[in-house]
A and B are shown apart, each in its own frame.
Chain A
Amino acid sequence: MSLLEVKQLTKNFGGLSAVSMVNMQLEDNELVGLIGPNGAGKTTLFNLLTGVYEPTEGVIDLEVDGKKTSLIKQKTYAITSMGLGRTFQNIRLFKDLTVLENVLIGMHEKNKVGTIASIFRTPAYYAAEEKMRIEALELLKLFNLETKVAELAKNLPYGEQRRLEIVRALATKPKILFLDEPAAGMNPQETASLTSLIRQIQKEFKITILLIEHDMSLVMDVCERIYVLEYGRMIAHGTPDEIKTNEAVIKAYLGGE
């Protein structure tokens, strides 16, 4: 099976169908784009996949240790520890904590030290803390944030906050990483460097990335496959070249008949 399989996924808010009958497959080790006009339901789809919202209908299956596991009715934290990491469109860092602490929190679940061990400061506690610190610093270095470890997240410039969100999500050791408009509010240079960064992450960590983006050029540039949502429906799916020439997509973006 695929790494992630989504079938007939639907979410109704009252009478409004934010996502309807969406099908999607993600394979190991690929970079996939998810595009669509404002209000097409992209973020809602992320929220359904990560358990923030409960779907009205549909199937979400993730391959966990070679077994097909349903994500329906699972708690967000459980889904994250099964291997789905995410960032947020409207940056949700732990603002009053330091950069390092933000990353360490992402690592918590995979490096569990018990509450009792922590309170009594057992050798296991010191060992785990040390290991987490080293790993966190390595990750931060990769993203050129190593000089800012002691800074509060809220004091970082905007672009670095976005980067920190990605680091924090990577700290959860995801198999699939959902990036929700990582380039939002960035200038062209920043976007360009982010683009290469995303590609680099995907190669280096050998994970699957699903990228929501408004910036068509970014998506066309880095993604191997692209899904297109409009009014909650998946209207197209294919390689960047196929999408560029797809009539439904052109119509959705440019309007017209």
Chain B
Amino acid sequence: MKQFNKKNFGWLIFIAAIYILIQVGTATGIINAFYEITLMTILINVILATGLNLIIGFSGQFSLGHAGFMAIGAYCTGVISIKYPTVLGLMGGLLLGIAIASLVALLVGIPTLRLKGDYLAIATLGVAEIIRIVILNMNDITNGAAGLSGIPFIANWQITFAFIVISLIVIMNYIKSSPGRATISIREDEIAAESMGINTTKYKIIAFVLGAASAAIAGGLHASYFSVIRPADFTFMKSVDILIIVVFGGLGSMTGSVVAAIVLGILNVYLQPFGQLRMIIYSVALVAIMVFRPSGLLGTKEFTISGLLDRKSKKKSMKEGEAE
């Protein structure tokens, strides 16, 4: 197959190498039970951040409601897998979460995605809060403010890793395609994009729905791994946490989102011993990073296997370097 070229093979090796690295880490006990929680948090945050980056960094639509879609995924998975405590139950819950989150994103997106900038941000914030309040009031299913506990432990880091690979392939394939370019053109200049014949509403909604679906997956995995979820886990603060990862990594750089999720996750471990001072250091660091590097760690740069190969083979002809 012509499509399965050197580049794809390179990615396969790269992904396998990371997987093996984590496997060795857990097997030898370097990644102990405590670090595994950090690992899971990082992995889940990677899914959340790349999904939100698709919405904010690529389609240019400012959403502050990511936690709402995460909550939908978490509760669907929680409810279903309590009933069917098997891997199949987990998958069923995730699928239901994806379906409902996508549907809500679609219904909400059609009217609100016409809004610009801060107005959209505040509308999506409102949507997420409404989702949370609805969950809070559906006592029979969601157990209200107390939340769901005793969700069977099914998700592990291997399953989560597989979902990261899937969601990254979906997102990267999307943004590196014609519909993806159409989506990015909205970020660049919406009026010019319309004048190029691009149905901007449609592509904003596609990005929004894809982002919401990935947030639902992350929420479901979160519920299944941590076993306890409460509506208070999915407030505006959670959306902000994800936004921070995205901006810290660089809006418009998926690599940045992945790196930022890892860096912030590890930073969190190192800040643990500081107790009370932890959040103060974190917030000062946040302000300092934004003041000194407002475009984030990576700006809009991406890590690519072909880039790596190019560097190794010392500037072969650049002409075909862009070829897919």
Say if the two chains contact directly (CB < 8 Å). yes
A residues with a Cβ closer than 8 A to B are: 50, 52, 75-78, 80-81, 85-86, 88, 92-98, 100-101, 104-115, 118-121, 125-126, 128-129, 132, 149-150, 168-169, 171-172
Chain B residue nearest in CB terms to A47: B191
Q: How far is the CB of A138 from chain B (nearest CB, A)?
A: 16
Contact B182 A105 (CB under 8 A): yes
Q: Does B126 sit at the interface, judged by CB under 8 A?
A: no
With contacts A80-B196, A119-B173 taken as known, whether A129 is within 8 angstroms of B178 at the C-beta atoms is: yes
Q: How far is the CB of B202 from chain A (nearest CB, A)?
A: 9
Q: How far is the CA of A86 from the CA of B196 in the complex (A)?
A: 8
Contact B193 A105 (CB under 8 A): yes
Contact A150 B322 (CB under 8 A): yes
Contact B197 A80 (CB under 8 A): yes
With contacts A115-B174, A129-B177 taken as known, whether A110 is within 8 angstroms of B189 at the C-beta atoms is: no
Interface string of B31-64 (1 = CB under 8 A from A): 0000000000000000000000000000000000
Chain A residue nearest in CB terms to B209: A115
Chain B residue nearest in CB terms to A168: B196
Residues from chain B with a CB closer than 8 A to the CB of A77 are 194-200
CB-CB contacts below 8 Å: B146-195 with A: 170, 173-174, 177-182, 184-185, 188-189, 191-195
Contact A92 B191 (CB under 8 A): yes
Q: How far is the CB of A145 from chain B (nearest CB, A)?
A: 15
With contacts A121-B173, A168-B196 taken as known, whether A115 is within 8 angstroms of B189 at the C-beta atoms is: no
Q: Does B140 sit at the interface, judged by CB under 8 A?
A: no
Q: How far is the CA of A98 from the CA of B181 in the complex (A)?
A: 11
Q: How far is the CA of A96 from the CA of B321 in the complex (A)?
A: 18
Contact B322 A76 (CB under 8 A): no
Q: How far is the CB of A127 from chain B (nearest CB, A)?
A: 11
Which one of B170, B180, B192, B206 lies within 8 Å of A92 (CB-CB)?
A: B192
B: number of interface residues (CB 8 Å): 31
Contact B189 A109 (CB under 8 A): no
Q: Does B3 sit at the interface, judged by CB under 8 A?
A: yes
Chain A residue nearest in CB terms to B169: A119
With contacts A52-B191, A94-B189 taken as known, whether A111 is within 8 angstroms of B196 at the C-beta atoms is: no
Some 24 contacts from A to B, beta carbons below 8 A apart, are A50-B195, A75-B194, A76-B191, A77-B199, A80-B194, A85-B195, A88-B192, A92-B189, A92-B195, A94-B189, A95-B188, A100-B322, A104-B178, A105-B181, A105-B182, A106-B196, A108-B178, A108-B198, A109-B198, A109-B199, A118-B178, A126-B2, A132-B178, A169-B195
Residues from chain B with a CB closer than 8 A to the CB of A150 are 318, 321-322
Q: How far is the CA of A101 from the CA of B179 in the complex (A)?
A: 12
Q: How far is the CA of A51 from the CA of B280 in the complex (A)?
A: 51
Contact A111 B178 (CB under 8 A): yes
Q: Does B112 sit at the interface, judged by CB under 8 A?
A: no
Residues from chain B with a CB closer than 8 A to the CB of A110 are 197
Q: How far is the CA of A81 from the CA of B199 in the complex (A)?
A: 10
Q: A80-B195, A108-B182 are in contact. List 8 more A-B contacts (CB 8 A).
A: A50-B195, A80-B197, A96-B188, A105-B185, A108-B197, A118-B179, A129-B178, A168-B196
Q: How far is the CA of A112 from the CA of B300 in the complex (A)?
A: 26
Q: Which 8 A-B pairs have the closest CB atoms?
A: A118-B177, A109-B197, A80-B197, A94-B188, A76-B194, A92-B192, A81-B197, A105-B185
Chain A residue nearest in CB terms to B176: A118
Q: How far is the CA of A80 from the CA of B196 in the complex (A)?
A: 6
Q: How far is the CA of A108 from the CA of B185 in the complex (A)?
A: 11
Interface string of B301-324 (1 = CB under 8 A from A): 000000000000000001001101
Contact B173 A96 (CB under 8 A): no
Q: How far is the CB of A92 from chain B (nearest CB, A)?
A: 4
With contacts A76-B195, A105-B196, A129-B324 taken as known, whether A97 is within 8 angstroms of B184 at the C-beta atoms is: yes
Q: How far is the CA of A157 from the CA of B184 in the complex (A)?
A: 23
Q: How far is the CA of A94 from the CA of B197 in the complex (A)?
A: 14
